[in-house]
Amino acid sequence: MVTTFSRARKQRIDALVNSGDEGSSLLQDAWARLKGSPLFWFGAVIVGLFVVLAIIGPWIAPHDPGAQLLIDQTSRARNSIAPAQDGFPLGGDTQGRDLLSRMIVGARQTLLVGIFATLIGLVGGLILGILAGAFGGWIDTLVMRIVDVMLSIPSLLLAISIGVLFTNPNLTSVIIAVSIPQIPVFARLLRGQMLAQRESDHVLAARALGVKRGPIVFRHMVPNSISPVIVQATLVVATSILDAAALSFLGLGSQDVSQPEWGQMLGEAQGSIDSHPQLAFWPAGAIIVVVLGFTLLGEALREAIDPKNRR
């Protein structure tokens, strides 16, 4: 009686296993949800176009972004700048340079600020987060106290504080200033995820099998904790671009005029905002669109990897 019952059960299980329904991994599931999300496609298209522009920008710009081609129509005394004309669809800036070319070439620097600031913040945060999450104990306490102190200063204030350390601000100093406030954010996020992993069954199983701490951390805990961090990174690209623009606005942005950057252009334009608002509108508009793109992308990713949305 008992044997027939267990045999029947075994057959049922075998049938289920061989039924062809292999289930789907978290990533496949997430991708399926992403494909159907208009927010994702909207964000992805914006980010894609922006990256392409950043790569090919210098080759498609109609003029040299640094050359003062329209300087004869530009006069500080009469407060005039070159209007839109043949070959210069957006006109010139306060230095008589072609605004359109500067906008196109500026995409690359803007992307570099966003990407590198995020990478530095990410790497710093990963190191701190893994240290805290892997070892626990006093290391965890120490790291988290450092993180608490860093988080107790509002991010832009911290960026300003670091920005003023440089006598001649350039792109690198801006990137460093913008990236450091992001470190504690990543660190805290990763640590929280790893703490949850540490108590989970698969880590317990690995520990019981005698796997060493290193492989447990890097093969079991980190890969399972990383996705929210990646999502956060997408959003941080957007904040970095915004923070860099804010630094420029406060006069702490890159002073290197040979390489235009949208935030820097926006900062330059504030002096003439009442007479020539278009000088601010173009870079500001570009920043808004790109930031919107990264934000949409990040939000769509966040929704997609959320296990709550799994059916």
Partner 1 sequence: MLRYTVRRLLQLVLVLFVLSLLLFIWLRSLPGGPVTALLGERATPEKREELNAVLGLDQPIIVQYFKFLGRVVQGNFGQSTGVSPGTSAVDVFITRFGATVELTVGAMIFGLALGVPLGYMAAKRRGGVLDNGYIVLSLIGIAVPVFFLAFLLKYVFAVKWGLLPPSGRQTPGIEATRVTGLFIVDGLITREWDASWDSVRHLILPWIALGTIPFAVIFRITRASVLEVQGEDFVRTAEAKGLTSRTIRNRHVLRNAMLPVITVTGLLTGLLLTGAVLTEKVFGYPGIGEALYLGFTKKDYPVIQVIILAAAAAFVIINTLVDLTYALVDPRIRAR
Interaction site with partner 1 (CB under 8 A): 148-149, 152-157, 160-161, 164-167, 238, 242, 245-246, 249-251, 266, 270, 273-274, 277, 280, 284, 287-289, 291-292, 295-296, 299
CB of 245 to partner 1, least distance (A): 5
Both tokens of residue 54? 């950043």
Residues with Cβ within 8 Å of residue 168, at least 6 apart in sequence: 255
Q: How far is the CB of 29 from partner 1 (least distance, A)?
A: 20
Q: To 10 degrees, the CA torsion angle through 264, 267, 268, 271?
A: 180
Return the number of the residue (230 or 288) whose C-beta is nearest partner 1: 288
> Is residue 229 within 8 Å of 183, Cβ to Cβ?
no
To partner 1, the closest distance from the beta carbon of 274 in angstroms equals: 6
Between 91 and 163, whose beta carbon lies closer to partner 1? 163
The residue among 197 and 240 lying less far from partner 1, judged by its C-beta, is: 240
Residue placing its CB nearer to partner 1 in the complex, 7 or 145: 145
* Smallest gap from residue 61 Cβ to partner 1 (A): 24
Q: Which is nearer to partner 1, 229 or 266 (CB)?
A: 266
The Cα 37–Cα 93 span in angstroms is: 40
Q: CB of residue 146 vs partner 1: minimum separation in angstroms?
A: 9
Six-digit token pair at 25? 């991994």
> b/e per residue, 238-261, with b = 16+ CB within 10 A?
bbbbbbbbbbbbeebbbbbeebbb
- The three-point CA angle 133-136-142 to 5° equals 95
| 65 backbone dihedrals φ, ψ, rounded to 5° | -65, -15
Three-state DSSP class for residue 77? coil
Rank residues 197 and 234 by Cβ distance to partner 1 and give the closer one. 234
* Bridge partners, residue 85, by sequence: 88
Shortest Å, Cβ 111 to partner 1: 16
